[in-house]
Amino acid sequence: MSWPKKTLVFDTETTGIDVFNDRIVQLFIGIADENGELIERHEWLIDPGIEVPEGASDVHGFTTEFLRENGGDPEEVLQEAAGVFAQYADIPWVAFNANFDLSILYAEFTRHGIVSGWAEMVLGTWNVQLIDGLVIDRAKDRYRKGKRKLGNMADTYGNAYDPDALHDAGSDVELTAKVTRAIVNKYGIPSNAEQAEMYRAWAVNLEQFLQRSDPSASVDKDWPLKLKEDGNGA
């Protein structure tokens, strides 16, 4: 399958990397055309209701004070965002490292009692085709050296970008669309089940590597959603 005529591309900025306990502070959903250009934009800032750690603010630029003044109510924002996702359940959804963004969205929706069927929506009931460029690239070009952050991938696939704009959800969505389109044009679109297996194989290899120095090391193996806070997905 080649790059679709229309895709939903999304990204979050958060208070940290714990998908169960951290919060979303910025959410961007874009609708991209066949060229990876955004033709529709939905953007929200959220007051997370907790302190934004300095380390997180250093990454995305949003402070606790700024979000208290400019961020929306989490429940109201997430309810609106859920409506956009539902509206576009018939086209593929694209994210870079989808496991993180989908999992923290699932946790937030659950926390606010908004979309009880979010897991089912993503995992099968709605049969949404997911496209995770990071998962595909790691599986198809397994031995390429170097980092695989979004900017690195843009360099690899020849996509121009502004390094200073990274970690703004809107800019990241624009770049994700272009990078993922380049990956898909090279490797095609694996099924959700195939991407889940790609992710699991990568996680198993990483876990084995880490266990050389720490036998207790564990890497979560679930994709596209991490549903158990204390589980490793095994």
Q: Which of 47, 8, 42 is nearest to 27 (CA)?
A: 42
What is the Cα–Cα distance from 201 to 157, expressed in whole angstroms? 23
For position 124, what pLDDT does the model report? 57
Q: Is the pTM of this model over 0.85?
A: yes
Cα end-to-end span (Å), the chain: 30
R_g (Cα) of the chain, nearest Å: 17
Domains of the chain by start residue, with CATH: 7-190 (3.30.420.10)
For position 193, what pLDDT does the model report? 92
- Using an 8 Å Cβ cutoff, are 124 and 191 in contact? no
Given the DSSP bridges, would you call strands 38-45 and 24-32 parallel, antiparallel or unpaired? antiparallel
pLDDT band at 114 (very low <50, low <70, confident <90, very high): confident
What would the mean pLDDT of 35-47 be, rounded to a whole number?
95
* Tokens coding 51: 């302190």
60-74 pLDDT, tens digit per residue, is 989 999 999 999 999
136-176 pLDDT, tens digit per residue, is 999 999 999 999 999 999 999 998 777 877 778 888 999 99
- HEC states along the chain? CCCCCCEEEEEEEECCCCCCCCCEEEEEEEEECCCCCEEEEEEEEECCCCCCCHHHHHHHCCCHHHHHHHCECHHHHHHHHHHHHHHCCCCCEEECCHHHHHHHHHHHHHHCCCCCCHHHHHHHHCCCCEEEHHHHHHHHCCCCCCCCCHHHHHHHCCCCCCHHHCCCHHHHHHHHHHHHHHHHHHHCCCCHHHHHHHHHHHHHHHHHHHCCCCCCCCCCCCCCCCCCCCCCCC
